[in-house]
Amino acid sequence: MKTILEEVRAGADGILVVGNHPQIVQAILDFDYLAGKKSPSVVGIISGTRKAQKFFYGTGEVLVPCFKNVRAVPETLRPRVKWMLNAQSGRRTFESTVAFFETFPDALGGHLFAENVPEIHATELIRLFGKKYIIAGPSGVGILVSGALKLGAIGGTDASQIRVSKLATRGSVAVVSTSGGMTNELIRAVSGAGKRVSFSISIGGDRFPVTGLSDVLRLAESDEDTEAVVYFGELGGSDEYEIVEMLEKKELTKPIVCYIAGVIDEAFDEHMQFGHAKALVATKDQSARAKRSALKSAGAIAPETFPGFLAALMELPLPDIRDTVVDMDPLESRKASILSTREIVDLDSVPVFVQAGALVKQKENAFAGAVMHALLGREVSSETVACVENIFELLIDHGGQVSGAVNTMISARAGKDMVSSLASGLLTIGPRFGGAVNEAARAWLEGSESAIPASEYVEKKTRAGALLSGIGHRKYRVGIPDPRVAALSEFASLLEKHPYYDFAREVEKVTTGKNGNLILNVDGVMAALLLDLLAEKEGILKAELHELVDAEFFNALFIIPRSVGFIAHFLEQKRNDEGLFRLPDELLFEKKSEKKKGK
């Protein structure tokens, strides 16, 4: 039967976080990434205010699901949950811990982060779970198994601390202490001595830790990776006498290096209360000096000074070390996205709709045919229907950064309903976003009817200070074409003549001569091709085309598919439910401090 440490090293690392502590969760994810894990160990977070929280995994972002309580964790995730990280307050720790182990009886253990857990609660947790699970705390920094598990703030709370302490590398020295702060100091000291940590447990500084020192030492004794133990203790309590007893009974045979702090207590007339609940001398044998003497007599290495303690670490056997090297610069310069979203349509895999002058028969296009019949009040050709169908497919989404998607997502994050959120997104459609399709159609009609060269038309519009709708893109440029434009342009091959499309391309030649970003964009190519299709395939006269432009018919072919994309972004935000959106202060143009300086 595998020991707990063997199970963890074999992959039993799934953590359910109870409560909210983003800094610790991010540190766990950084540990996982530096350890080379394929996926984060944090399975979910018990937080009733949202459905997901955003973190980094390496340089990419991940959304960790949130649940109202432990019983709400879905069945699909439950088999992976092996550990609890309880970050709730001291008064709530008992109830949530009991709920966790009742829901996940096959878990391996957990960590109680809070200080000041009522002692009646702590003793009851010992009675219920002390013999079955490994539970660090209350009042500690958690459990670490190098390269396999980081449960809590143990080892540090940022990626650089984890890297410096070499926690991604399996080691041979177990680190144990009641003190959370000193646990982290010892981990750093072990790596500084050229060794690596096999595992570490911060027992907890309260009077009644759930898992006692003897249990941790037995774990170290049975662990094949562990060759030595490093321990930090202090005055008060009787933990060190457990070490003495185990050494004398040969239950602990591996070398143990101990430092016991608190000799300064002898300088005062009365005993002093140190930081932890039990760090107070109640009897003579609880003094730091008495404990050191007892440990030495039992065979432990117990130096009188901390420099001597560090020197003793240097004398421990030096294992064969192969540290993983990771470039930390990308981790240290990462910045979170403002809104969590995905691209609804993959623009890198735009399909081909027209081949060798013929339609590719991929679908019946029934919806597009019904839409065109509704908008025009007549049946239309298969070529026009196919073009509209593919416009719909390509324009469902263009990423979450565009203004309409942003407005939709912010409204969803504010708790608004679907119709309100959709309306918020649709209201951004205008001459600078989406609404340019209609104005591009007006431009191609006007330009082709003017019978002047494209260069003169562009010059005329420029002198008048007017924008050329259908021209220009923020992302694409000459040499980096918009794949949607390339796909739709193939429909020109189905026409005998395409004067509007030709004029738009002539304008593009002029504008790209001025700036490589001034290409024919998807609004422009849609407008041009639809004008040509309506004229040639549907027999619509120029006067009727002008009427359609005046009625904003061409914008409808953007609004219809993009409404689907906005709804998709709305539903995604509702699934994630990251809470009310607030623009980060550092993105504001005018800082408050700058305002004060101005005064």
Q: Hey, which residues are catalytic here? A: 276
Helix (H) or strand (E) holding 544: helix 542-550
Determine the length of the chain: 599
* Cα-trace Rg, the chain: 34
Sheet containing 173-177, strands listed edge to edge, beginning at the edge strand earlier in sequence: 149-151, 143-145, 197-202, 173-177, 228-234, 256-261
Nearest-angstrom CA–CA distance, 117 and 461: 74
Find the helix or strand (DSSP H, E) in which 202 lies: strand 197-202
- Angstrom distance (rounded) from CA 444 to CA 579: 45
470 CA to centre of own chain: 37
Q: Where on the phi/psi map is residue 16: left (φ > 0), alpha (ψ -120 to 50), or beta?
A: beta
CA-to-CA dists, residue 382 to 3, 20, 351, 389, 486, angstroms = 69, 57, 18, 10, 20
- Rounded distance between C-alpha atoms, residue 17 and residue 42, angstroms: 7
Find, among 216, 173, 217, 176, the residue nearest to 191 by Cα.
173
Alpha helices in 377-453 (DSSP H): 382-395, 403-413, 418-426, 436-450
**Exposure b/e, 464-474, CB count within 10 A at least 16 = b:** eeeebbbbbbe
Among 114, 110, 144, CA closest to 130: 110
Please name the residues in contact with 433: beta carbons below 8 A apart, sequence gap of 6 or more.
402, 403, 404
Would you say 279 and 251 are in contact if contact means Cβ atoms under 8 Å apart?
A: no
H-helix or E-strand containing 257? Answer: strand 256-261
d(CA 598, CA 520): 45
Query: Rounded distance, CA 285 to CA 235, Å?
Result: 9
Residue 80's CB is within 10 A of a number of other CB atoms, namely: 17
What span, in angstroms and rounded, lies between the C-alpha atoms of 506 and 487? Answer: 19
517: which DSSP letter? T
Q: Is the dihedral angle over the CA atoms 67, 72, 76, 77 positive or is it negative?
A: positive
Query: What is the bridge-based pairing of β-strands 134-136 and 149-151?
Result: unpaired
d(CA 285, CA 267): 17
